[in-house]
Amino acid sequence: MRCISVYTNDYSRFSDLYEQILRTPLGEHEEKMLDGVVFGDSGETSVEFLNRLKQKPEVAVLKLKDSEITILQHGDVFEIFLPESENVVH
């Protein structure tokens, strides 16, 4: 799974930028800024790691219907986890 980190704690702001972030090409570990919000490629991670994060009480989990994309929110970061089949970036 590929992870894209979005550095904001504002859900409304994240929601407004989400689609644009997914359409923005990113190199490995590259960061960009969109409307004042920094986001970047955080590399590959395993499903096991994602499942461990989902169990933490301080992590909010968002699952998109009809998709394998999972979004975790903790602290000032949203993390978008894209399985290879859903990799819409690039």
Per-residue pLDDT of 40-86, as tens digits, reads: 999 999 889 989 999 999 999 988 888 889 999 999 999 999 987 65
DSSP H helices in the chain: 11-23, 47-54
Smallest CA-to-CA distance from 82 within 56, 48, 44 is with: 44
31: pLDDT strictly greater than 80: yes
- Comparing 2-6, 21-25, 44-48, which segment has the lowest mean pLDDT? 44-48
Q: Which two tokens stand for residue 62?
A: 């968002």
Give the containing element (helix H, strand E) for 41.
Answer: strand 37-44
Question: Is 6's pLDDT higher than 80?
Answer: yes
1, pLDDT greater than 70: yes
pTM of the model: 0.87
CA terminus-to-terminus distance, the chain: 15
